[in-house]
Structure 1
């Protein structure tokens, strides 16, 4: 081969390397942007998870309170209290005190 043919081949090879390097840099940049976006989404999801866990704990506490109230409403103590307050009913051995009106 002549010297001219070698120069052309070397020129094409170095231009090709530059294109490959530019494409690689572009891909690295795009991947970096995607990684940053994924990191931000992950942080948002963590915050959402914490909020939902707090809501779940609150709901569990409310459920426990409702169970306690349900048990109390079914008790004789509650029935007697409501009958006394709303209907004016009393036991036979109760003594009723009424205030005098002035």
Structure 2
């Protein structure tokens, strides 16, 4: 089954199972590696992304649930040449 995901202003069609966690689709299918695998329990925040302006943990969120939403990852906040405010803070603080 194909799922359409709007991520960082671009629409992707993915053939992953609708029950697949968004984190795995972001990292493995779409090669967007800003969200990280941490605890896998939704407690550490390493996989946090924005869904329609709200923070969610992507390790627990099935893609079938977020289809139709606007997803923003850290890659969507700016570019290497012109980092967004949050990206610049990560750079300045040498955060992982």
Note whether the superposition's TM-score is higher than 0.5.
Answer: no
| TM-score for both structures, normalised by structure 1 | 0.19
The structure whose residues are more often strand, as a share, is 2
Q: Which fold has the larger relative contact order, with Cα–Cα distance below 8 Å and residues 6 or more apart in sequence? A: 2
Give the structure with the larger helix fraction.
1
Task: Decide which structure has the larger Cα Rg and report it.
Answer: 1
